[in-house]
Structure 1
Amino acid sequence: MEPLVHSIFEPQTSTWQYVVADPTTKAAVIIDPVLDFDPARNAVTTASADALLALVHEHGYTVDRLLETHVHADHLTAAKYLQHRLAESQGAERRPALGIGKRIGGVQERFAEKYKIAKEELEGAFDKLYDDDEVFAVGELEAKAVHLPGHTPDHMGYLIGANIFCGDSIFNADVGSARCDFPGGNADDLFKTATKLFTLPSHYLLHTGHDYPPSPRSTPLAATSVADQMASNKHLSQGTSKEEFVAWRTERDASLAAPRLIDQALQVNIRGGGMPRDGLLHMPVKVEEGW
């Protein structure tokens, strides 16, 4: 039995969000939800997250879990907001657990130091830390947490039926691969992750975390098959050597600017989508030589 997969694109950050449900029990999970943020006003709004809630309500789903593939550097997660709203609508006893991979502690420690975040603000940010290859249930469906490092060291994917929600580990074939220059990222690890994904059955679908449609394609695409990726991924198709990929990815990453919302995103996302207790996000300032 296969899950029902709802793919919802958030255009401001080019992020794919997913609601994945068991068609029999109507149990569901939400993967990588987006909290809207306007940097010009430093304002958080919830239109994207509210659209997910409306979809859940429309289909009669009960959300058991909120799943993050990793600590995103390009958008703020709506997980904490959704958890609060779903606890209101489903009842406190059906409050969905917020989960991420077990390596989150090292990521939190690194960025808490950078942004001067007190340790107690991070305690209990996530309810569930998934082990590598840990199996869990989505209603009557079996799901598995899969470690997919490279883009970040904590990166996880979630295998549900013939679908793996692989976040930023690999993009659509005409986009290629994600950057590996964030702390703990590693191009060699990303190549191994792609190799691991390509061992899945050829008809399995890889559901990406983002899409940046290149010309002539103009419509965002959520998923492609393992077979399609192996045949035509512009960075990682069959025949690409590890040495070739690592050299290209390293050179490419050295030329990339930081994501537009990186400082805001990291401070909120290591809190699981929670806001700072003092209401302040700390923004590092780079002082140029000669100022």
Structure 2
Amino acid sequence: MIEYSHQGMTVASLHDERTGSFQYVVVDEATRAAAIIDPVLDYDPKAGATSTANADRLLDYIRSRDLKVEWVLDTHPHADHFSAAPYLSERTGAPTAIGEKVVEVQKLWRDIYCLPDLPIDGSQWNQLFADGEHFNIGNLEGRVMLSPGHTLASITYVVGDAAFVHDTLMVPDSGTSRADFPGGDATALYRSVRAILDLPLKTATYVGHDYGKDGREVVGRSTVAEQRRSNIHVHDGIDENKFVATRCKRDASLPLPDLMLAALQVNIRGGRLPDAEPCGTAFLKVPLNHFKPHDG
């Protein structure tokens, strides 16, 4: 875990090398209250096996600091890892939450996976946050920003001088995340990014992923000032039309994420695995020929 200090707040960061995902623990130092953001449930696609190594490392950190977890938060239904929210909620007693637009993502993917019995009302989470809604982590006040584009349901959590920007922004040398998944939209993504970049310049932007571009050290955070100055896709001076053209060209060259077809059927269930079949084993589904093969 890497710790970053803010006024009255600590942000602990854990990187999952397999998926390139960052997971965060936000701590109110005055009360020892905490929130977990975007935790990873480990999945080995070759074995078809899940495990809890990442989530258990988060729990070890929480125990080592004698923290009380008040929230387990996801920013959106992830396409590159399974959410460990239910596992961590069960072990900490904390409620789970996500943005209220998750119901739109559930509708899309219920049809893709042919899951007619899947509830599409967001009831898999304890709380659905609306745009602009406030919540507390101890004495810290958090605010929810709807940030669509990468997905219909993407949200940003702003806590103090930190913004957890999930897959909307990457660190500056990596630009932004893709917008070509079902429900994604490059124009909406640009507008979401610019709303984030209207936050105070000193605001830390904690990203959802980094892959160590060109062999550099993996980095999980930047600032609004650095993003506005040097983000390769959306620095100041790049307008909406140029961004959309760049993003769409880039997305057209990308294969689907390795775990997408496995992960989304879990994450639209709030991170829960499918129910076991009569034989006692649960199975994941693959929608054959729904997506085009990648030619790259």
User: Shared fold (TM-score greater than 0.5)?
Assistant: yes
State the distance in 1 between where 2:118 and 2:269 align. Answer: 10
The code of the aligned residue for 1:220 comes to: V
Kindly tell me: are residues 25 and 74 of structure 1, through their superposed partners in 2, closer, same or farther at Cα, counting changes over 3 Å? same
| Structure having greater relative contact order (Cα 8 Å, sep ≥ 6) | 1
For residue 173 of structure 1, report the CA deviation from its aligned partner: 0.2
Q: TM-score when scaled to structure 1? A: 0.93
Asked if the contact 1:8/1:17 (under 8 Å) is kept, the reply is yes
Show CA shifts across 1:41-73 (max 9, x none). Answer: 100011111101101100111111111100110
Q: Which amino acid is the alignment partner of residue 284 of structure 1? A: P
1:262 to 257, 260, 263: 260
Deviation at 1:283, TM superposition (A): 1.4
* Aligned amino acid, residue 131 of structure 1: A
Question: Within 5 A, what are the aligned runs for 1:4-83?
Answer: 4-83=10-89
Question: Does the Cα contact within 8 Å between 1:175 and 1:212 map onto a contact in 2?
Answer: no
- Distance in 2, Cα, partners of 1:2 & 1:75: 31
Over residues 107-126 of structure 1, what are the superposed CA-to-partner deviations in whole Å (9 max), with x where a residue is unaligned? 11211121122435666311
TM-score under structure 2 normalisation?
A: 0.91
Following the alignment from structure 1 to structure 2, what is the Cα–Cα distance between the partners of residues 266 and 44? 15
1:276 equivalent in structure 2: 274
Stretches of structure 1 that go unaligned for 5 or more consecutive residues are 87-94
- Could you tell me whether the CA contact under 8 Å between 1:171 and 1:211 is conserved in 2? yes
Distance 1:49 1:170 in 2: 24
Give the aligned partner of residue 98 of structure 2: 100
Task: Report what 2:198 is aligned to.
Answer: 199
Cα 1:187–1:122 shift into 2, 3 Å: closer
Between 275-284 and 158-167, report the one with greater CA deviation. Answer: 275-284
Partner of 2:4: none
Q: What are the within-5 Å matches in structure 2 for residues 233-248 of structure 1?
A: 233-248=231-246
Write the distance in 1 (CA, Å) between the matches of 2:120 and 2:200: 39
Task: Report Cα offsets for 1:23-57 as digits up to 9, x if no partner.
Answer: 01111100000011000010001111110110110
Which of 219, 222, 233 is residue 221 of structure 1 equivalent to? 219
Unaligned 5+ runs, structure 2? 1-6, 277-281
Q: Select between 275-284 and 224-233 the one with higher mean Cα deviation.
A: 275-284
Partner of 1:176: 175
- The answer to whether the 8 A contact 1:263-1:283 is kept is yes
Cα shift at 1:171: 0.4
Matching residue's letter, 1:211: D
CA RMSD in angstroms comes to 1.6
- 1:173–1:229 contact (8 Å) kept in structure 2: yes
Q: Counterparts of 2:191 and 2:8 in 1: how far apart (Å)?
A: 27
Amino acid at match of 1:49: A
Matched pairs, number = 280
Q: Alpha-carbon deviation of 1:147?
A: 0.7
Are 1:151 and 1:179, in contact at CA under 8 Å, matched by a contact in 2? Answer: yes
Distance 2:215 2:266 in 1: 35
Q: Do the aligned partners of 2:75 and 2:99 also contact (CA within 8 Å) in 1?
A: yes
Residue of structure 1 equivalent to 2:149: 150
Q: Is the 8 A contact 1:122 1:271 kept in 2?
A: no
Q: Is the Cα contact below 8 Å between 1:175 and 1:213 reproduced in 2?
A: no
**TM-superposition CA deviations, 1:143-170 (whole Å, max 9, x none):** 1111111111110010001000010010
Return the offset for 1:14. Answer: 0.2
Identity over aligned pairs, percent? 38
For 2:117 and 2:137, how far apart are their aligned partners in 1? 32
Alpha-carbon separation, structure 2, partners of 1:40 and 1:166: 31
Structure 1 residue 244, shift from structure 2 partner:
0.7
C-alpha separation in 2, matches of 1:153 and 1:109: 11
